[in-house]
Chains A and B, each alone.
Chain A
Amino acid sequence: MKVKAVAANEVVSVKLLIQHPMETGRRKDQGGNVVPAHFITEVTASHKGVAVFHAEFGPGVSRDPYLAFEFTGAKAGDTLTISWVDNKGSSEKSDFPIVAM
């Protein structure tokens, strides 16, 4: 995951890039075999234990999902925890610093 969380005027702007194939389950490989569906289903962000972002994704989200959102109530120097889970049960959870603009 690549995350940029910038605090300015009480608002934290988050830009997030997750490396993930986001296979729709409808694409065929070079051998003509259907590539099984493999996509992120949920993305969550929390600040000091409180959820500040939650999204459900389907396979219509692009490969290597790019996403941006905003939330309030945090400041530069705080930590933002972001996690995702996919339809195969894989997941990732990491902490990122919120920086000043």
Chain B
Amino acid sequence: MSPLLFVAQRATAFVLALAVAVHLGTILYAVRGGLTAAEILARTHGNVGFALFYGVFVVAVAIHAPIGLRNILREWTRWRGRTLDLALALFAVLLLGLGLRAVFAVVTT
């Protein structure tokens, strides 16, 4: 990968290390005794801090995951070049779109 992709991959890795630690801790805590929609939404509804945190999380993932997949596809298949980059850019947009929509869903419902 190019220096730009490498920087993006490692920088988002740092961001995700923090975000995942918080997310895992939250899941472990919240999942006690079962999980209902009402419980989740009670925590997330109108929560600006939550929206910001998970917004950043989604952006970081949308950058980090496609770059990782690009390495795997280039190394383990014959796919490379512009079509591969385009496909992964589309995947990045998909993750970003679906992710931000999910954040929006739990914060506004």
Query: Are A and B a genuine interacting pair, yes or no?
Result: no
Using a CB–CB cutoff of 8 Å, the interface residues on chain B facing chain A are none
